[in-house]
Amino acid sequence: MASSPSRAGRGRLFVISGPSGAGKGTVVQKLLQRRPEIVLSVSVTTRPARQAERNGVHYTFISEPEFKGMRDRGDLLESAEVYGNYYGTPRPPVEAALAAGKDVICELDIQGAESIKRAKPEAILVFIEPPSMEDLHSRLRNRGTETPGDMSTRIDAAYAEMKRKALYDHIVINDRLDDAVAEMLRILER
């Protein structure tokens, strides 16, 4: 396996972004089954939990005052308002994992990816996109976790997000899930 210089010392930070419904969460979960040593950053958010989501696993669900407290104390590596809710990356677990030589994955929106790239230019940015906007619609519809209003906010944002994918080091099209996971493994092994 190829190794990058950072492997010997600090771990590498991978940022995954892409439109809501592109399959980021699904790809990352499959990837972690193959590479369980990778640390997945658990974000904090003020959005309500979806039915299948567990506190501390998918996100840590917190109130807006708690979020603002963390942000103002500098406890977040980056934070952003996305689709009307606040999201942020707790700093200490990411810094500790990187210092211990572990690779870390953060799933962030584009604002988060930009902030991380400014703070840590060595971060590797990966954009996951759906094969088509029709697929994105049907994936979001099938997931069935958003109200029609929230779904159309996410679809509208997707068009803007797709225009900014040039910011990223790698673009992965999530058509067949196994192919997308294989592509992610190749990126990790560079």
Considering only residues 123 through 182, tell me which ones interact with ligand ADP, judged by CB under 6 A: 139, 142-143, 174, 176-177
Binding of residue 26 to ligand ADP (CB under 6 A): yes
- For ligand 5GP, the closer CB: 103 or 107: 107
The answer to whether 73 touches 127, Cβ cutoff 8 Å, is no
Number of residues located near ligand ADP, criterion CB under 6 A = 14
Q: Which residues are within 8 A (CB) of 164 and not within 5 positions of it... i.e. 6 or more apart?
A: 110
Which residues here bind ligand 5GP, judged by CB under 6 A?
17, 20, 43, 47, 78, 80, 82-83, 87-89, 107-109, 111-112
Please give the structure tokens belonging to residue 150: 């929230």
* CB of 23 or CB of 112, closer to ligand ADP: 23
Return the closest-CA partner of residue 82 out of 54, 57, 112. 112
DSSP assignment string, 13-51: EEEEE--TTSSHHHHHHHHHHH-TTSEEP--EE-SPPPT
Q: With binding defined as CB under 6 A, does residue 58 bind ligand ADP?
A: no
Name the residues that contact ligand ADP, by CB under 6 A: 18, 20-26, 139, 142-143, 174, 176-177
